[in-house]
Amino acid sequence: MVTANALIAVDDDYDPQGGSAAFERAPVAALLEQAHQHVEELDQALERLEQGRRRYGDCETCGGTIPPERLDIRPAATTCVHCAQHNARRPPDPA
């Protein structure tokens, strides 16, 4: 999709197909942003791993150990299952 769009001049304001092109690009942009975020989380996990076992695998909320099974499934996890469930139920802080 990116390569095809690079070969044509697309002006969404005047192109009758522009709306659909923008509509098609939106999910791709969202997936790309998710991928960048996931890579950032994995980079942070690698930094914790390089700092030693005391950081990687330790819950940042309670200080307990994150089960290896959780880390196998989600290597970038920073909280144990209990804290993750507790945090998911809390309403977000108003900013």
In this prediction the pTM is 0.53
Mean pLDDT of 3-12: 54
User: Which whole number is the average pLDDT over 22-43?
Assistant: 87
User: Alpha-carbon distance 47 to 80, whole Å?
Assistant: 18
> What domains, with CATH codes, occur in the chain?
19-89 (1.20.120.910)
Question: Bridge-partner residues for 65, per DSSP?
Answer: 58
Q: Is residue 31's pLDDT more than 60?
A: yes
Average pLDDT over residues 25-43: 89
Is 70 exceeded by the pLDDT of residue 80? yes
